[in-house]
A and B are shown apart, each in its own frame.
Chain A
Amino acid sequence: MSRAELLSMTGLTLQVALVATAFALPFALALAYTLARRDFPGKPLVQALLALPMVLPPVAVGIALLLALGRRGPLGPLWSLLDVELVFSWWAAAIAAAIVGFPLLVRACEQAFADVDPRLERVSRSLGVGRWQTFWRVTLPLARRGVLYGVVLAFSRALGEFGATAIVAGILPGRTETLALGIYSRVQLGDDAGALTLCGASFVLALSAMLVAETWLRRPRRRFEGPGA
């Protein structure tokens, strides 16, 4: 395997994971905040449904996405009208990764928001600060650590996403072949050395992501709770 091939696969994997996480984050924040602050009938059902992409077989998620994004699926006329081809594009890989990582992101954010004392929000509101401003200036900064943790978890999950991606993004060398897909196709072709190289690259990426998380996630603790905490 050439160095260019390895670099482009690593780049694509990072690109897919970054876009997937960025795409999922606004939705996850809104959902997590609602779940942490409000009780409503059927909340356990919503939470159970949200966990599905994580616990379903990834291939099942892939089939569902293939039907949703395919031109012969129920939304097919829409994609034809817009003249977009999401299936077999790297966007499909990003969407698959976003969906599979979404439960991790929501869970972590929900926990982080639940840990923020609602009284602090009430104080902010009583001082005349609006709901949105309170969220951005009080809740989110206090929940930052947990949210970032969720971001890193979802990002790391996206780095390794395979099952749903293989179905909906296909294995197109140079276009949708991420490290995880590359490892699989090389094992299938009997190219064990190539597969091992890609495993090494995956290992480095995953480890770096987790290391960055450790560094980032520790800093707020010192700042907010003091060095003695």
Chain B
Amino acid sequence: MRRRTPAALCAAASFVVIGLLAAKAPAELRIGAASSLREPLGAIAALFAGEPGGASAEIAFGASSVLAVQIRAGAPIDLLLAADARIAEQLAGEGLTEPPVPFASNRLVVVASRDLPPVIHGPGDLARPEVRRIAIPEHAVPVGRYARDWLRRHGLETALAPRVVRTEHARATLSAVDQGHAELAIVYASDARLARSARVVLEIPAAEQPTIAYAGAVVRGSREAPAARAFLRFLADPRAVARLSQAGLHPPPHTLQTGPHPPPQALQTGPHPPPPDPP
């Protein structure tokens, strides 16, 4: 009986020791990737592991903004693949990553629930009385910002403001329309493919599309920086591009128009060649 206390303390201590041993950093490429990349990235990582000079990768998925917070705190990430180039540029500006390289892009579309009569033929129809609620993410979510910019462009932001249902993220926006909680939503084309009952009612013309760039950036001081750079280059490989396009993502924009400095100069300062032009 007398021995029990030391035994309990030993058990607690051994937990800590085992924990520290088990938590030794594994020697492989660690990627922090936007949740929307989950489908294509698993396959791309498997391809990359089989490449000469490739490496096996461990991927943490999350919202790009959360990944940025994690990188700032020193989370073990060698390569960030963000759904919003601005987030990657901001980290680069803070000296935490190398200059970002765009590797894919997305488009905005307007989707409608099946309950809405076919009344949407142009941007102006968004203000029709049949549209009682329109789902748009918070301003802090990139798609929310893009959607608001586009509405403002058409002078609709104020008119629609009372009808806006603020959603938490891009997928929740689609669900809101799929489940009939809102008549309309502005979502990514890649998300719209996953709709159950909602349908795309308005393709936003290329001229009005915001630059929605997915960008990758190698975290400075990472032990696996060469492998991270190689992975970033591999995203331009035709096999990787094919996987990305299966997920509804397009080739990257030629330039990143998010920073105050003029592209493309900004992109070519990095150690990576810019991705090839789309065919």
A residues within 8 Å of B by Cβ?
A: 19, 22-23, 26, 63, 66-67, 70-73, 76, 82-89, 91, 94, 132-133, 136-137, 166-167, 170-173, 175-176, 185, 187-190
Contact = CB atoms under 8 A, between A and B. Distances in A.
A72 B23 contact: no
B19 A175 contact: no
A203 B69 CA distance: 32
A76 B171 CA distance: 35
A76 B75 CA distance: 10
7 contacts: A26-B8, A67-B73, A70-B70, A83-B24, A91-B22, A185-B38, A189-B194
B38 A86 contact: no
A132 B4 CA distance: 9
A189 B171 contact: yes
B130 interface: no
A132 B70 contact: no
B74 A87 contact: yes
A59 to B, nearest CB: 9
B60 A172 contact: yes
B30 interface: yes
B12 interface: yes
Interface string B66-91: 10011011111100000000000000
Contacts of B39: 189
Interface in B1-19: 1-2, 4-5, 8-9, 11-12, 15, 19
Contacts of B19: 86, 91, 94
Contact of B59 (A23, A89, A167, A173): A173
Interface residues of B, number: 42
A132 B74 contact: no
A167 B23 contact: no
Nearest to A176: B60
A85 B25 contact: yes
Given A26-B8, A70-B73, A70-B75, A88 B15 contact: no
Nearest to B26: A85
A14 to B, nearest CB: 16
Contact of B75 (A22, A23, A170, A188): A170
Contacts of A67: 73
Interface string B34-72: 011011001000000000000000111110001001101
Contact of A189 (B11, B20, B35, B59): B35
A187 B178 CA distance: 13
Nearest to B71: A72
A136 B4 contact: yes
